[in-house]
Amino acid sequence: MKTSYMTQEGYDKVKAELDYMKSEGRQNCAKAIAEARDKGDLSENAEYDAAKNAQGMLEMKINDLEKAIGNAQIIEASQVDTSQVSILTKVKIKNLKVNRELEYMIVSESEASVKEKKISVDSPIGKGLLGKKIGDIVTINIPAGEMSFEILDINI
């Protein structure tokens, strides 16, 4: 498994989510299964099947988060090289097609949030920007086609 680079804030967030899932999430699943089981014949009980599926999904998510935390390496701002785009840098880019500036922070998969302008290092745009320097023009293949960006600034 590859190393998952995270900020301390991101690590704490993932750890809190994992703790919640292991306690309340598991309790809620057990309750839902018990309630569905009390309703009788399990062979034709859609509610029971849904509760068991939800439990399976929860356990899968718990497993993924445990792996992310187990392979986490916490990066401090002082360790980040801003001479090129790397994990935990903020990169200001200009979409050359629509002439619009955007700023994103490159983060681990578990910290990615479009709403917070944090994109995954494993996403097509994240991968395309890695290692690039200010002034570089990058063409990235995304599901919607090709996009070209100019790197305007890199900071923390």
pLDDT > 70: percent of the chain:
99
- Tens of pLDDT along 15-26? 999 999 999 999
Q: Return the closest-CA partner of residue 77 out of 9, 16, 15.
A: 9
Q: Return the closest-CA partner of residue 10 out of 123, 122, 105.
A: 105
- Tens of pLDDT along 134-152? 999 999 998 888 999 999 9
Position 1 confidence tier, pLDDT thresholds 50, 70, 90: low
Residue 89 CA to residue 3 CA, distance in Å, equals: 17
Position 83 confidence tier, pLDDT thresholds 50, 70, 90: very high
Are the C-beta atoms of 94 and 100 separated by less than 8 Å?
yes
Residue 95 CA to residue 83 CA, distance in Å, equals: 21
Mutual angle of helices 8-20 and 46-70, in 10-degree steps: 150
Q: What are the distances in angstroms from CA 132 to CA 58, 91, 146? A: 38, 10, 17
Q: Return the closest-CA partner of residue 148 out of 133, 137, 132, 156.
A: 137
Q: What are the distances in angstroms from CA 45 to CA 49, 53, 58, 94? A: 7, 13, 20, 54
In order of their start, the domains of the chain are: 4-74 (1.10.287.180), 77-155 (3.10.50.30)
Global pTM?
Answer: 0.70
Rounded average pLDDT over 119-124: 92
Residue 27 CA to residue 29 CA, distance in Å, equals: 5
Three-state DSSP at 38 gives coil
Q: Name every residue whose Cβ is closer than 8 Å to that of residue 153 and which is 6 or more positions away in sequence.
A: 91, 92, 134
